Amino acid sequence: MADDKDLHARWATTLLRASGGASGADPAPYAERLLARWAEPQRRYHTTDHLAAVLDHIDVLEEHAENPELVRLAAWFHDAVYAPDRSENEERSARLAERALSEAGLTEERTAEVARLVRLTVTHDPAEGDTNGETLCDADLAILAAPADTYAAYAAAVREEYAFVPDEAFRQGRAEVLRQLMALPRLFRTPYGASNWESPARDNLATELKLLSP
């Protein structure tokens, strides 16, 4: 279970560094509002545990990023708006980031970069050399390389989030998502992700796809 006190501290540190110490805004209300979003009742996988995990993965990958603090801010916002029955979650999350970070005192350029990174999680397909995007996408997809039991719990939690979808429709939709991921030349773009996560992730995807087969 993610520690809200720890997440509050991590947010405050990130916001201070990302603003170059220029932000005069109290970070606490922003953290409280974001954490309330991440704790909404419709969430089963996209929870504060997922947020904390992505932040932990960014810590591992931060040397690859041009600006790891902006990547961390993008992690905070990337699923801040999450309704399983809506298709524009990433766009709405990006707009939330634009409003909140501008208000908190980040420059227009840095705010735009965070919003761009949030929108990138629609495809998880950063351009070659986009080190910020590669870091965020690898951190977000790192769950795919988890040990088999952890991956199974992740897959079950995703199914719970889509409990309103009939079994056959979910099976078909989920299988299509898995096939699209497996068709990517590379799931992970950072050197660490490519060497440590690519192979176990593909094994997990193949196993889940087999379990979804009729």
Question: Do the beta carbons of residue 66 and residue 182 sit within 8 Å?
Answer: no
Greatest pairwise CA separation for the chain in angstroms: 57
- Which band of pLDDT confidence, cut at 50, 70 and 90, is reported for residue 20? confident
Total length of the chain: 214
**Mean pLDDT within 65-78:** 98
- Which band of pLDDT confidence, cut at 50, 70 and 90, is reported for residue 44? very high
CATH code for the part of the protein at 4-143? 1.10.3210
Instruction: Answer whether 0.85 is exceeded by the pTM.
Output: yes
Each residue of 132-153: pLDDT tens digit? Answer: 999 999 999 999 999 999 999 9
How much is the CA Rg of the chain, to the nearest whole Å? 17
Domain extents in the chain: 4-143, 144-212
State the residue for tokens 């996988």. 45
Distances in Å between the alpha carbon of 213 and those of 148, 162, 181?
18, 18, 16
Distances in Å between the alpha carbon of 211 and those of 152, 198, 204, 206?
11, 20, 11, 9
Each residue of 110-131: pLDDT tens digit? Answer: 999 999 999 999 999 999 999 9
Between 77 and 105, where is the model more confident? 77
Both structure tokens of 64? 């690859």
Distances in Å between the alpha carbon of 89 and those of 23, 81, 95, 121?
27, 6, 10, 10
- Is residue 21 predicted with pLDDT exceeding 80? no
Each residue of 175-209: pLDDT tens digit? Answer: 999 999 999 899 999 999 999 999 999 999 999 99
**Mean pLDDT within 47-53:** 98
Question: Do the beta carbons of residue 86 and residue 79 sit within 8 Å?
Answer: no
- Is residue 214 predicted with pLDDT exceeding 80? no
- Which band of pLDDT confidence, cut at 50, 70 and 90, is reported for residue 24? low
Each residue of 156-168: pLDDT tens digit? Answer: 999 999 999 999 9
Measured CA to CA, the distance from residue 190 to residue 43 in angstroms comes to: 29
Measured CA to CA, the distance from residue 133 to residue 117 in angstroms comes to: 6
**For 203, how many CA atoms within 13 A lie in the half-sphere containing its CB?**
11
